[in-house]
Amino acid sequence: MFKPYRLFALALFAFILTIACDKNPNGPDYQKEIAVFGYLWGERALDEQRAILITYSQPLDKNIDIQTAALSGADVHLIELNSGVKWRLTENPDRPGYYFNVQVTASPEATYRLDIQADGKQVTATTTVPPRLEQVTELRSDTLNVVCRDNLSRSKPIFLDSTDPEQIILVDMYCREPLENAEYINPFDKNNPFPGDLEEYDQGVGGEPRHIMGIARLRELYADEYDGIATVYWYSSMIVFYGANVMQVVAIDKNYQNYIFKEHPALSGGVKGGIGVFGSVCGEQYDLLVMKDE
């Protein structure tokens, strides 16, 4: 069954930055730990836009500040375990704590280990990239799609295919329209279709607003009305504002799956010696410009 989630990227990340080492259910004192947040995207370069964020955790009573929390100067490597090929990840000088290497392109079904050494500590995490997720749709992943919301999903469905019918599929929709231009598609007050302030716009996360996620196994997306093909045809209901929106349709690995579903996400994302999530995905991203119907 399709499972909708209304999640926010920085709200999830707050679990990592502010977790107080809750391995003890009684709630121990804060412990400073190395935190990892990132994932490899199959058949995409690990460039600056997909860099892996490495920080220190922060006490619960502190404001979240990535600049202050960033772990700079770490020795970070990525290893493809089958071939033994090893890459050094470089910190972005303009974004402390973000590590990348454009020479890295993750292969579907390959296994990678992330090694981090900093302050005398070693943190590791391993991910196996999901199989390739084939997608057939009129939407383009290499250019901006100018669309109208009404009947969008059914006029431009996304047909999926992969080798594993049990593969977990994530559909993530979020807005990129600036606050000053944002207009609700379905406002609570039809006389005032605009968000009143920044907190209403991004719901207080200080990042990409209105992340809405849908999660299902591939076999649960088989649609009789589309000849039994796995189909995403309901995504227009996930769009909150007119204007610029982004939709990612991806297969996700076990680490990312556990991070989303487990009770303590920062302890469930496959990171050893630290906290956070290091996972991998395969799929496509679609940039949408949602217009009003004429």
pLDDT in tens, 196-225: 888 888 776 656 667 889 999 999 999 999
In this predicted structure, the answer to whether residue 284 has a pLDDT above a threshold of 50 is yes
pLDDT of residue 72: 95
pLDDT of residue 59: 73
3-class secondary-structure state, position 97 = coil
pLDDT of residue 23: 43
3-class secondary-structure state, position 267 = helix
What is the average pLDDT across 136-149?
94
More confident residue, 17 or 90: 90
Cα 109 to Cα 1, 87, 161, 251: the distances in Å are 25, 18, 15, 11
Environment class of residue 105 by beta-carbon count within 10 Å: exposed (0-12), middle (13-18) or buried (19+)? Answer: middle
**Cβ atoms < 10 Å from Cβ of 50:** 17
pLDDT digits (tens, 9 = 90+) for 132-141: 999 999 999 9
In this predicted structure, the answer to whether residue 103 has a pLDDT above a threshold of 50 is yes
pLDDT of residue 294: 56
More confident residue, 266 or 158: 158
Give the separation between CA 125 and CA 272, rounded to whole angstroms.
6
In 211-255, beta strands by DSSP E:
212-217, 222-223, 229-232, 243-252
Give the separation between CA 254 and CA 78, rounded to whole angstroms.
18
Question: pTM of this prediction?
Answer: 0.85
Give the separation between CA 141 and CA 242, rounded to whole angstroms.
19
CA 155 to chain centre: 26
Pure H helices in 124-194: 152-155
More confident residue, 254 or 260: 254
More confident residue, 20 or 26: 26
pLDDT digits (tens, 9 = 90+) for 31-87: 789 999 999 999 999 999 999 999 998 776 666 677 788 999 999 999 999 999 999
More confident residue, 153 or 244: 244
**Please, what is the average pLDDT of the chain?**
87
3-class secondary-structure state, position 56 = strand
